[in-house]
Amino acid sequence: MNVDLHCHTNLSDGSLAPSALIDLAVERNIDMLSITDHDTLAAYRAIDEAPANLRIIPGIELSSQWRKSGVHIVGLNLDMSSDSILEAVAQQSKARSERGEKIAEKLHRLGFENCLEGAISYTSGGQVGRPHFAQHLVAIGAVSSVAQAFKKYLGAGKAGDIKEQWADIPTVVSWIREAGGVAVLAHPLKYKLTRTKLVELLGEFADAGGEGMEVISGRQVPSITKDLSIMCNKHGLLASCGSDFHSADQPWAALGKVGALPESCMPVWHRWH
């Protein structure tokens, strides 16, 4: 099967509307798809009906915090009407809004005006995030590219890197499990942790009730996949995979272009397939 369990629409920080994302999934012969927008389920309200040959797994990507690092946890196969996930969305949306105000204030101190309003103008009515602030900084000529915006102002350790308001891992995992879903640690290498700390993170995530990890995130060399599969199995976790698609101009995160999981792994979709 062609499975992609991590992608984004323009209702978080992606570029495509939900309907356009579904069309692209059909074009690329995806069999199973989960839209995992950041801290929102709005994309699912914008989808009328999925094509018969595409199975959609309700999902979300929730921001969390581990020690001093921001981490993301994907919830898959959720009951989107459950009280727990509705509470999660409400709490995370409030936290995201407050974070946006803090980022704007930090950028104001650096001499950039009206950044919150500018960022919101790029959200298509969805959640505001750092990529939207980056787009605003490019538009006003403060930086030449989104990548430079993160390097100078929004990336890890920079002025706009605000993460202390997120719920902790046990809370996020409990929201997902109480909604009948599977909690999956997203893109574990993206946090740039030492191997020792990554092992500690996986251990604490599993102890909190986390059940899976992304063994494949986007375009990935086989040696990394093998290494992550070993770590996944060592912690007794289910294996997930996804492109982390945001836009068509990012070939390293192309929708539906995800490598096959190693045979040694137990795919997360076996839980519901």
Q: Are 126 and 238 members of one domain? A: no
Collapsed DSSP state (helix, strand, coil) of residue 63 = strand
Q: Are 76 and 105 members of one domain? A: no
Q: Are 238 and 259 members of one domain? A: yes
Residue 94 placed within a domain: no
Q: Are 25 and 106 members of one domain? A: no
pLDDT computed for residue 234 by the predictor = 96
Q: Are 174 and 235 members of one domain? A: yes
pLDDT at residue 225 greater than cutoff 80: yes
Distances from the Cα of 30 to the Cα of 2, 6, 22, angstroms = 5, 12, 9
pLDDT computed for residue 129 by the predictor = 87
Q: Look up the pTM and report it.
A: 0.90
Residue 218 makes CB contacts below 8 A (sequence gap 6+) with 187, 242, 243, 244, 252, 253, 254, 258
- What number of residues does the chain have? 273
Here the CATH number for the domain that contains residue 126 is 1.10.150.650
pLDDT at residue 273 greater than cutoff 80: no
Of 221, 222, 225, 223, nearest in space to 240 by CA: 225
Quote the DSSP letter at residue 273: -
Q: Which residues of 179-205 are buried (b: 16+ CB within 10 A; e: fewer)?
A: bbbbbbbbbbeebebeeeebeebbeeb
Q: Are 85 and 183 members of one domain? A: yes
Residue 17 placed within a domain: yes
4 residue type, one letter: D
Mean pLDDT for 76-96 is 95
Here the CATH number for the domain that contains residue 17 is 3.20.20.140
pLDDT at residue 126 greater than cutoff 80: no
Collapsed DSSP state (helix, strand, coil) of residue 220 = coil
Task: Locate 59 and state its tokens.
Answer: 């999902």
Residue 225 placed within a domain: yes
Cα(58)–Cα(168) distance, integer angstroms: 22
pLDDT at residue 220 greater than cutoff 80: yes
Q: Which domain holds residue 119?
A: 99-154
pLDDT computed for residue 96 by the predictor = 86
pLDDT at residue 163 greater than cutoff 80: no
**Number of domains forming the structure of the chain:** 2
Q: Are 83 and 111 members of one domain? A: no
For residue range 44-59, list pLDDT tens digits in order: 999 988 888 999 999 9
pLDDT at residue 123 greater than cutoff 90: no
Of 104, 100, 101, 125, nearest in space to 113 by CA: 104
pLDDT computed for residue 238 by the predictor = 98
What is the CB-side half-sphere exposure of residue 208 using CA atoms within 13 A? 24
Task: Locate 78 and state its tokens.
Answer: 């959720």
What average pLDDT does the structure give for the chain? 94
Q: Are 132 and 248 members of one domain? A: no
Mean pLDDT for 225-249 is 97
Cα(197)–Cα(192) distance, integer angstroms: 10
Q: Are 21 and 49 members of one domain? A: yes
Residue 163 placed within a domain: no
Q: Are 193 and 107 members of one domain? A: no
pLDDT, greater one: 81 or 70: 81
Of 106, 100, 105, 102, nearest in space to 119 by CA: 100
What is the CB-side half-sphere exposure of residue 244 using CA atoms within 13 A? 21
Residue 119 makes CB contacts below 8 A (sequence gap 6+) with 100, 103, 104, 128, 132, 133, 135, 136
Q: Are 33 and 121 members of one domain? A: no
Of 108, 117, 113, nearest in space to 160 by CA: 108
Strands 182-185 and 59-66: what pairing? unpaired
Residue 160 placed within a domain: no
Residue 194: band (very low, low, confident or very high) from pLDDT cuts 50, 70, 90: very high
Cα(29)–Cα(53) distance, integer angstroms: 9
